[in-house]
Every structure is written in structure tokens, then in C-alpha cells.
Structure 1
């Protein structure tokens, strides 16, 4: 890092003062480097933890239901999943607001610390209410991570790879899911450990892993783009220079910037009134698009995945300690979707690929729901069907986060991501697990079929909305996709480069 003497000389731009910065162009010209791997691993591991958390609850649902100390009903299992999502919604909004005000880096540590404490506390739950409370607090930590981490990753990854990397990072949720499924095979095997101890140990160990994240994040700098829009132009330039020096020492001379500097006028904090005006007036179509994509994928994912184990145990007679074997291929399919299809979102383009993945997932969901109702599928065939469906649904869901991050100005990026995550999860995610838990408790395949059909229709609605309202963002600087609020003039806003 720079010497302390240089740091003391850095000047913060006064409010209202106009300044020029080439930080975006310098970040976007960088060749892929180990610095970018640090960003991906240290920040993207959030999704791995979320996948671990969600899969543990999904895999452990039957064991928690059968736990002599908790003895939760199927409906209470669904309610506890909804509690996690409610916590995530509140955490996303609260921490998202602070992320735009305090910076990305400070919130990295606050949110992961909350996750750590709450996840460990879940392992010591003594009844439904304590379990639901600790799940809600765990969700709050993860929800806050979504806002801080998504915004930082998009702001520091070169534009030409932003879509590929963002989808891959969001897809690592399923690496955590696979890890959770494998862990469940151990902690739920009566021959290895008492299941009553096993499910508790799984939450405690999962929370303890967050210590590793804190160590990695020590080396992640504040987002230079956040710094420049908050008047810290000198500090932003210094951080980029340090990154450039490291990259150049490993790759040789850097290529010239592909576009020029931006002229900004230092503003005060973006108010809630500004956010509401931009979302409901200036960028109304993007708001409709973001809410639709987030809500539809959230309902589909949370409804199916949070109750996955209950379907297998109730309708296919799978023992609770064997559920992990069925979740593992499902998780791997979800992981491979963004990894294999992600580059197409940067080459073919966002609009075509988002429309395609949502539509294919919706059609296949309807077909598999009918097959389930007719009793045509075995447990493994049902798992294969869901694996294929979510191979397409996974990059679609990841693209929803990519879309809402790119759609709005830098000064409100974190709160925008948080609000859309909150809206989408509240509309589609909280209701989904509770509804499906209730449908499963009825024991009727026909009832569950209508739940599948609802999820399918919502995915098709999202596909149609993307085709109608989608916008081109592939390979473009963030400042071109949505001009910063602090751009000096309307003329600059029309042509940033």
C-alpha cells in the first residue's frame, strides 16, 4: 500500500466541486490478474456460504422435523425458511443503505460477522422460535452481503468480463450447496453421529468458516469507483495505481485506456427521495424489469429448494440421511449452468440470453410438474429433471442480480441491489417455501402440481418482460450503462467517453 505520507496528502473533493478522473477507464483496461481472483474469492465466497446455509436447511429439513428437541412440523420448516428470507430482506435494505454511505469495505466485515454469530447460534436453538430468530439473523447477514459484495465485484471487474464473472460468482452458491449436501451425508448418518448432534454441528461449523473470509478480505481495497463518486478522487487513483503496479509487474506494460476520463461534480449523500425518483420516474422500465426478474426467480428457487427434502422423503420414501445424494447432482447442475453459459451473456448479449434461460426453465418446469402429478418419475428421475431445469434457471437467476446492479447509477448501486433483492424475495421468496410446505403437508400430488405450474408461469412472465424491457450492457463501462448522478453536465451524460 502507499506510504502514510502520501495518504496524508490526499485531498477530499469539496461538495459541489468539479473534478476529472480516469479511474473507470484504468480499471476496465486491466488484463485478468490474480488481483481479480482475490476479489472473486474473498467476496464471492459469500454465495458459497449462502448455498451452504440453504442446502443445510434443505438437507436437514427432515432431521430437524424429526428432532426430539425441536420437532418442527412441515409448515414450521417452511416458516423457518421464510424467516431466513425475511431476515435477508431486512438485512439487504439496511446494510445496502449503509454500503452506499459508508463504503463497500466496511460493510464486508459487519455483515460476515453477523452471519458468523447467528449461524453458530442456530446450532444451539432450543425451540421453533429460537430457531426461526437465529435463521432470520443469519439471513440478515447474508442479505447485507448481497448488496455490498455484488456492487463491489461489478465495480472492480473489467467491463469485458463483468457478465461472465458476475454469473460465475453468483453461481458459486451451488458449490456451497454441493458442500452442504456432502456434509449432510455425514452429519445425518446415524452410524457416524447422532442426527440430533449432527444437524446442530453443521450450523456451528458453517458459521465458523466465516473466520476464513475475514482473513481474505483484509487484502481487498475499497472500491475505487465508490471513492471517486464520494469525492475521494486522490485515494481512488492511488488504489488503482497500486493495482496497476502489481498487474504490470506480472503481465508487463498495460494497454492504453479505451476511453477517456469522466467529469464529476461532488454531491452529498444520495437521499431516499433521489432513489425513489430515479426508480419510479427516470428509470421506471428498468425498475419493472428488475422487480420481475428478481421476484419470479426467487419464487421458483425458494419454493422448490427449501422443500426439496420434504418432497423426496414424503413422496418417494427417501430416508432423511440419504437426501444429500439427491441434492448433490442438483447442486452441480446449478453450478455448471452459470459457468458454461455465463460467457454467452458477454458475447451474444444480456437480452437474448436472459430471455432464453428464463423461458427454457419455465417450459421444463411445467413439463416436469405434470410428470410428477402423473407419478411417472422415480426419485432419481425427478432429481434429473430438476437438475436440467435449474441448469438454465441458475444463470437466469444470477443474471437478475447482474441486471439490477448494472441498471442504476454508481451512487445508489448498493441500495438498488438491496431493494430489488428485498422486493423480489418478499414477493417471490418468502411466500414460496410456506406455500409449498403447506401443499406438501396435504400429501396430494395434484396440489403440488399447481405450485409447479405457478413457478413455471412466473418464469415465462420474466422471460417476456426481459425481451420487452431488457437493455444492452455487455462489454460497456458501468458509467455508460447508467450515467453517474454526479456527472458534470447533461452533455457529459450523453457521451461519457
Structure 2
């Protein structure tokens, strides 16, 4: 089957734009009925590696806390370490909002290339930091690129992956953040060994690591196509049809399966852009319950992760006499990835609501227990506690991105991801590192690690609350087409147009 048009004359520029039409297409159904193939693995590798880069960045900063405080580093304090984490997250928030809007307007592919280049620029220039102010500025630039990646890549992944696999793939890809975290933790061990590399050079090489991986990702991404869903909505249905036909041919040859015809179609009224007022009305008026759900999910996971993980290395070194934190953080990171990998299929089988609420509540309760026992824990036992807590929290945190990506109309997808990421991260991700940095300083002065427990309790409460909200407001989106979960705005426009003609 192919994209069909209604035969109407192109609409004037006073309507949705010059040359735009009302069309009927079967592209979403054709993409959703594809069996899994090597082509889909190319999408996963080309787009999913952004989280590995983010994990690499955050882990490197956490492991560099001691050297960055030293004369061989930049002479930072614990509060400034926390501030650097907050500035990185602030850059990610700004990048998500700015690039998110551009992603909906100019396409997924252009933006996931541009945002990767911004990240590469920021991380390379960070290696040349000569004072705290320059370091903070480059962390902000690096964050800009990562934040933009979240909006562009999540949109593209969900629009290219078949509905049957969308939950597990999205959760696993988001969980791959921890592969970067584990790799970064282990690589910093030799790079921070003064017997192997001078202390003033090793920490700079750590920041250059992300550039090498980023360049490899950039090479793979050249072969990732634009989202066919984005194309047919923006008046480029011929390009959309060509991409889908090529994908179908590639998948059929790779799997040896004959692809079944589809009968499901969708009628949309094409347009180039959706105004911010329309986006705001969609989020606040059309889907208020889903908006509340996403806010709670993002705030909870952002505070939990950015508070605990940004300062985990500093906690081990300050209170538990750990010189090299790499092994501890690598074990912690592996548990996070395994949690996402093992639990992700259940989001498609048991359903979104059960799994989101369950992972949030369980991880929240376990973190509260860790806070109560904090004064009795060693570096090893604290790490084990963290591994158990974040085995569940990793899948829960990843589900926040999945939720924001799939429960809002296609035309607003990237901006909605960006909005909730920015708001949730601004509340939880910026305040978390700042709070923990201050708690560590105060607890260190008092000589009592239990002084940071309040941060654990806040994170636990926010996660548990997010899980409770999911019970009442969660959306059963498992194995459903994106267009069935949230009707595209352009489909509503086409229906209104048809209703208007009927009245005439």
C-alpha cells in the first residue's frame, strides 16, 4: 500500500501553508507491522548511544571530584562540584527546550545531528579548562547538546520502532546511559593514576573520551532516515513513502518474511508548524492528567539520580576513605543497566501502569531504608544498597521518557519531551546536586555521614509519590500505535475540515 491523497487542490498560504494538502496515509500502520530486523538494530545503535554519552559525562565528573579539587585540577570545592553538575543539567534543560521546538519544526534528523555536534564541541573544550568559570561554561555547552539529544532522539526512536517493541526498546535505550557510566568509571581508573599519567593531564583526557565515541555515533547516524511520520505531516509525503518502501524492502530481505498488507489509514491536514499556543493548549487543556503524570515522573527520577549519582563519588571519597571510586561506580552502573534490560519487556507484557508505578514505589521505599542505615554502611554495603535500589529505579526513570514521548500528539512530541525533561530536571536535577553538595560539606564538617540522609529521604518521597500518581493517571499505551494513544493534531484538523464541509 502507499500514501494516498484526497485529490484536493493545494491549500493557500493563509491556511496551513503553501502546497500543503489533506491526505490519507497508511505509513504509521506499515511501520508498526514490521518484524524486528537488522535495520532496527541500526536505529538503536545510531540513536540510542546518546545515553551512553550522557552516562560517560556524568560519571567522569563524579570520579574527578578529588582531582578537580586539587592543585593539579581547578581547585574546586564540594559545593562547586555540585554547582558544576547543576550547571550541566541547566544547560541540558535549555538545550532540550530550544532544540525540542526546532526538532518538531525542522525534523528529527537535522536536529539529532546538530545536537551531537554541540555536545562534541562542549566536551572537547572542557578538556582545556584553565579556571572554574571556563569549566562551568563548557559544562553548560555540553549540557546544551545532551538536552537537545533527548528531545530529538526520543522522538525519532519512538516513531521508527514498531509498536510491539516500543516499550522495551525505549526503556533499554534509556537504560544504556549506564553502559556509559560503567565505561567512564573504569576508564578513569588508569587515567587518574599518577603513576601512569601526570595528574594534571589525566583528568583532561577523561573529557576527551566522549569526543571519540561521539564521532563514531555521528558516522552511524548518517544512515538513520528522517521519521516518515514527521515527513508526511509536513507536506513531504513522497519522501515519506520512499523511505517506508525502502525500509520494507530491506526488512523483507533481511528476515525472509512476506510483509502483510495493512488496512488501517489516517487522514491528516498537513502543516509546516504548530504554534506554541497550540502546544500549550494541547498540554494544559486537552491532556491535563497526562501532563500532571509526566511532571511527577520527571521530577522524581531527576532528583533521585542527579542528587545521588552526581555526588556519589564525592560521598565515597569524603566519608568512606575511597581513593579510586571507579570500581564502585562501575558496579552501581551495571546494576542500573541490567535493571532496565531485565525489566523492559514487562512494560509491554504487564503494561505501562503496573510497571511504572511498581518501579517508582519500590525504589523509593528501598532508598528510604538506605537513608535510615546510612551511618552503619561501608563503601561496599552502600554500593550494594545503591545497586538494589537503582535496579528498579533505572527502569522507572527510563519509563518517564517513554511516557512523555508516546502519550502526546506527534506534532508536539519533541517539545513535550523537552518541556517535561526541562521542568522536571530543573526542579529535581538542579536542586539535587546543589543540595547534596551542601549536605556533604556540612556533614563533613560535623564528621557524620548521616547528615546527607535528608537528601535520600527527599528522593525516596518524590519517587514513591510519582508511583502513586502513575496508579491513578497512568496511560495503558502498551503495543498501541502512537496515533491511537494520542490523535495527531493534523488528524483533528482534517476531521474539523470534513465536518465543516458537511455542514456547508
* 1:425 matches 2:445: no
Task: Flag structure 1 segments of 5+ consecutive residues without an equivalent.
Answer: 1-10
Q: Taking structure 1 as reference, are residues 131 and 20 closer, same or farther at Cα in structure 2, changes over 3 Å only?
A: same
Q: Taking structure 1 as reference, are residues 458 and 32 closer, same or farther at Cα in structure 2, changes over 3 Å only?
A: same
* 1:74 matches 2:78: yes
Match for 1:351 among 353, 371, 377? Answer: 353
Whole-angstrom distance in 2 between the partners of 1:317 and 1:121:
32
Q: Taking structure 1 as reference, are residues 90 and 248 closer, same or farther at Cα in structure 2, changes over 3 Å only?
A: same
1:431-470 pair list within 5 angstroms: 431-442=431-442, 443=444, 444-470=448-474
Contact 1:229–1:410, Cα closer than 8 Å, also in 2: no
Shift of 1:81: 0.5
User: TM-score of the superposition, structure 2-length normalised?
Assistant: 0.93
Whole-angstrom distance in 1 between the partners of 2:55 and 2:197:
23
SS of the counterpart of 2:268? strand
Match for 1:369 among 355, 368, 371? Answer: 371
Whole-angstrom distance in 2 between the partners of 1:126 and 1:62:
17
Match for 1:158 among 115, 139, 162? Answer: 162
Whole-angstrom distance in 2 between the partners of 1:190 and 1:13:
68
Per-residue Cα deviation, 1:84-127 (whole angstroms, up to 9, x for no partner): 00000000000011000100010121111111111010010011
Residue of structure 1 equivalent to 2:322: 318
Match for 1:489 among 455, 474, 495? Answer: 495
Contact 1:13–1:233, Cα closer than 8 Å, also in 2: no
Contact 1:120–1:208, Cα closer than 8 Å, also in 2: no
Shift of 1:228: 1.3
Whole-angstrom distance in 2 between the partners of 1:437 and 1:43:
33
Shift of 1:257: 4.7
Residue of structure 1 equivalent to 2:5: none
Match for 1:247 among 248, 251, 270? Answer: 251
Root-mean-square deviation over aligned CA pairs = 1.7
Per-residue Cα deviation, 1:7-37 (whole angstroms, up to 9, x for no partner): xxxx997546211111001101111011100
Whole-angstrom distance in 1 between the partners of 2:496 and 2:453:
52
* 1:98 matches 2:102: yes
1:245-324 pair list within 5 angstroms: 245-257=249-261, 259-319=263-323, 322-324=324-326
SS of the counterpart of 1:264? strand
Shift of 1:461: 0.6
SS of the counterpart of 1:160? coil
Shift of 1:450: 1.1
Contact 1:224–1:237, Cα closer than 8 Å, also in 2: yes
Whole-angstrom distance in 1 between the partners of 2:432 and 2:65:
16
SS of the counterpart of 1:36? helix
* 1:88 matches 2:92: yes
Whole-angstrom distance in 2 between the partners of 1:101 and 1:13:
20
SS of the counterpart of 2:388? helix
SS of the counterpart of 1:263? strand
Q: Taking structure 1 as reference, are residues 259 and 393 closer, same or farther at Cα in structure 2, changes over 3 Å only?
A: farther
Residue of structure 2 equivalent to 1:415: 415
SS of the counterpart of 1:31? coil
Shift of 1:259: 4.9
Shift of 1:139: 0.4
Residue of structure 2 equivalent to 1:168: 172
Whole-angstrom distance in 2 between the partners of 1:431 and 1:259:
50
Tell me how many residue pairs correspond in the alignment: 479
Q: Taking structure 1 as reference, are residues 141 and 476 closer, same or farther at Cα in structure 2, changes over 3 Å only?
A: same
Per-residue Cα deviation, 1:129-158 (whole angstroms, up to 9, x for no partner): 100000000000000000000000000000
Task: Flag structure 2 segments of 5+ consecutive residues without an equivalent.
Answer: 1-7, 500-504
User: TM-score of the superposition, structure 1-length normalised?
Assistant: 0.94
- The runs of at least 4 aligned residues of structure 1 exceeding 4 Å deviation read 11-14, 490-493
SS of the counterpart of 2:267? strand
* 1:190 matches 2:194: yes
Contact 1:29–1:257, Cα closer than 8 Å, also in 2: no
Residue of structure 1 equivalent to 2:502: none
Most deviating of 108-117 and 337-346: 108-117
Shift of 1:446: 3.5
Most deviating of 266-275 and 26-35: 266-275
Q: Taking structure 1 as reference, are residues 67 and 207 closer, same or farther at Cα in structure 2, changes over 3 Å only?
A: farther
Whole-angstrom distance in 1 between the partners of 2:339 and 2:74:
36
Whole-angstrom distance in 1 between the partners of 2:155 and 2:252:
25
Residue of structure 2 equivalent to 1:7: none
SS of the counterpart of 1:159? coil
